Amino acid sequence: MRRPFIAANWKMNKTISETQEFISGFVLTVKDITDVDIAIAPPFTYLTVAAEKLKDTNVMLAAQDVFYAEKGAYTGEISPIMLINIGCKYVIIGHSERRQYFNETDDIVNKKIKAAKKAGLGTIFCIGESLEDRESKKTFDVLQKEIEEGLNGVDSEGIVIAYEPIWAIGTGKTATSEQAQEAHAYIRERFRTLYGNKADEIRIIYGGSVTPENIDSLMAGKDVDGALVGGASLKVESFVKIINFKKGS
């Protein structure tokens, strides 16, 4: 049985005081939730204050990105060890915004996943097709390539996959529950080829305009194990409603 995983990706939003205010209220509201893994990925500059507020709670700290070198002359970058030092348990890798705006290739993503795992971080590895890919029926080809190249030489330990169709991210257009389930089932089959029966233990979460209104139907898919939430994670109320999804409705 896979434990649901719901993570907030705040992207480049909030101030320090907004971060403190959010987390203070949020941790109290979710403190009794024991059957869902919850993570918040604030911007790098708020990781310290978020770590303090999340200490001894049931909410894990995550980062939105990481660099693959351990240390050295890489101006502006953050290493996996630095994230571990500050208390991060997970890191998002390969988000489509990183691929699109910062030219991250599958090879870079693969190096980042390897480095993060080596340091002991769980990874939220993002994959997903563009609208053009979907319309030209290349969704599965894209997913296959991103999985094979991103996970080349990587075991399944600590990997959470986020299926995030690019056309659904921040657009208000969510994949239907059927589209999400179809992609997740495909991804699990690819994992079966790579990892055998371990494929059944890997969590595959959905991302792309998840809201309190659509989470229940998305989570009804048998291979949908949680959500990576952008816009709707910026308010305590909507993020808590998402975490309190009802499975099977």
Residues serving a catalytic function are: 95, 164
Query: What is the spatial distance between Cα 87 and Cα 121, in angstroms, rounded to a whole number?
Result: 10
Q: Does 230 bind ligand PEP (CB under 6 A)?
A: yes
Alpha-carbon 99 to chain mean position: 15
Task: Say whether residue 169 binds ligand PEP (CB under 6 A).
Answer: yes
CA distance 235 to 232: 6
- Stretch near ligand PEP under the rule CB under 6 A, chosen from 70-78, 145-153, 177-185, 228-236: 228-236
Smallest distance, ligand PEP to C-beta of residue 173, A = 9
Q: Three-state SS for 184?
A: helix
Token representation of residue 168: 């659904």
Question: Which position's Cβ is nearest ligand PEP?
Answer: 230
Contact between 129 and ligand PEP by CB under 6 A: the answer reads no
CA angle 85, 39, 249 (to 5 degrees): 165
CB of 227 to ligand PEP, least distance (A): 8
Residue of 4, 6, 9, 112 that binds ligand PEP (CB under 6 A):
9
User: What is the rounded (10 degree) CA torsion for 141, 9, 242, 129?
Assistant: -10
Residue 80 interacts with ligand PEP (CB under 6 A): yes or no: no
Q: Enumerate binding residues for ligand PEP (CB under 6 A).
A: 9, 11, 164, 169-170, 207-210, 228-232
